[in-house]
C-alpha cells in the first residue's frame, strides 16, 4: 500500500515539475520576445523609422543594391557626378541632434506608450499604475538631465527594463529608489 502511495506521489510530483518547467519556459520566451520587440522599436526610433515604414525601406534598399541585368557592361560614374560624403555626414549629424528638451519629451512620449500595457491596473491607493510609473520615469530622467547626462534614451530603456521586471515594486517606491537602481547619484535628504 505504501509503495503504491509513493509511486502516485512521485508521479504527481513529476507532472507538477514538468508543468512548472513548461510555464517557466513560456514566461522566459514572453519576456525575451518583449525585450526584443522593445529593442527593435528603440532602434527604429533612433533611425527615425516606424515599424510600418521599415519593411518598404528595406525592400527598396535591396532593390537598389541589386544591379539590373544589362547586356552592356557597367560604366564607372564620372568624377564630376561624385557627391561629397563628408558634407552629407555633417549635415545628417547636425540634423540628427535635437535640442535636449525636445529629446527628453520624445523619450518620455515613447516611454509612456511602452507603459500603456499597465493601463487598467491600479496601485493599492487606487492610482493608475501607468500614471505612477510615468511620473517615476519622468522624475528620474529630469534628474539625470540635471546631472548633465546625455544618455537619456539608454537610461530610459534600462528603467523600462526594471519596470517590466517589477512594475508594482517600482510604483510603490520613489523615483529616488529607481534612480539608485539605475546607478544615478541620489540627493540625500537633509535632517532638520
Alpha helical stretches, state H, the chain: 2-47, 51-65, 85-96, 100-115, 129-146, 152-165, 167-172, 175-181
What is the rounded CA–CA span in Å between residue 167 and residue 160?
A: 9
The model's pTM: 0.47
pLDDT of residue 158: 92
pLDDT per residue over 88-131, tens digit each? 555 555 455 545 566 888 888 988 898 899 888 888 889 999 99
What does the pLDDT look like over 129-162, one tens digit per residue? Answer: 999 999 999 999 999 999 898 888 999 999 999 9
pLDDT of residue 102: 62
**What residue ranges do the domains of the chain occupy?**
1-48, 99-186
Q: Average pLDDT over the chain, rounded to whole?
A: 76
Amino acid at each position: 500500500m505504501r509503495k503504491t502511495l509513493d509511486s502516485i506521489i512521485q508521479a504527481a510530483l513529476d507532472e507538477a515539475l514538468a508543468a512548472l518547467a513548461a510555464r517557466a519556459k513560456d514566461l522566459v520566451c514572453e519576456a525575451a520576445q518583449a525585450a526584443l520587440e522593445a529593442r527593435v522599436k528603440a532602434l527604429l526610433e533612433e533611425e527615425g523609422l516606424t515599424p510600418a515604414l521599415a519593411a518598404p525601406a528595406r525592400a527598396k534598399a535591396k532593390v537598389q543594391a541589386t544591379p539590373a541585368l544589362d547586356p552592356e557592361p557597367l560604366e564607372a560614374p564620372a568624377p564630376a557626378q561624385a557627391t561629397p560624403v563628408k558634407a552629407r555626414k555633417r549635415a545628417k549629424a547636425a540634423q540628427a541632434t535635437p535640442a535636449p528638451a525636445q529629446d527628453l519629451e520624445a523619450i518620455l512620449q515613447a516611454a509612456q506608450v511602452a507603459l500603456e500595457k499597465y493601463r487598467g491596473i491600479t496601485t493599492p491607493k487606487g492610482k493608475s499604475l501607468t500614471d505612477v510609473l510615468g511620473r517615476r520615469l519622468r522624475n528620474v530622467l529630469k534628474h539625470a538631465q540635471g546631472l548633465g547626462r546625455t544618455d537619456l534614451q539608454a537610461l530610459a530603456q534600462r528603467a523600462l527594463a526594471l519596470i517590466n521586471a517589477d512594475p508594482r515594486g517600482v510604483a510603490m517606491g520613489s523615483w529616488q529608489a529607481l534612480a539608485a537602481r539605475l546607478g544615478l547619484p541620489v540627493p540625500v535628504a537633509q535632517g532638520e
